[in-house]
Amino acid sequence: MAVKELKVGDAAPDFRLPSTEGREISLKEFRGKKNVVLYFYPKDDTPGCTKEACSFRDERSKFDKKDAVILGVSFDNLESHKKFAGKYHLPFPLLSDTDKKVAEAYGVYKEKSMYGRTYMGIERSTFVIGKDGKIAQVYRKVKVDGHSDETLEALSKN
């Protein structure tokens, strides 16, 4: 089944996922109120994912000034997310997409390869979603270094 690649201007697929805030979070609740930085990452507490989460954490006040909420999504369960968020003092919700439906809707559940082995997993990706619910920027195959800065820059244009 081929997934349509989401692009700038498309309506962001709505979702409802359990979060580290102890409640389900939906994209719809931010419409008309906040910009959303929705970032998909492969695994809690791994080197690249930790670095990415900590850079968003360290720049949080700048995202607040852009009227943006940060939401991290992976396939890890809530228990894993809570440990990860607690260990690194992450001040934004991590969402648990254990059935992979949201990752599929955003086209980030892809075949990957490592050490000659292929497997299905999350392609590190970020979607900047405007208050109107439309995708303002898409980053695929994200390189962690400098990513929070380029995301902030995209919010400046929105």
In the set 12, 38, 49, 53, the catalytic residue is 49
- Is 54 a residue of the active site? no
Answer positive or negative: Cα dihedral of 26, 83, 121, 75: negative
Q: Where are the beta strands (DSSP E) in the chain?
A: 16-18, 24-26, 35-40, 68-74, 94-96, 109-114, 117-122, 125-129, 135-139
Burial 141-156 (b: 16+ CB within 10 A, else e): ebebeebbeebbebbe
Catalytic residues: 49
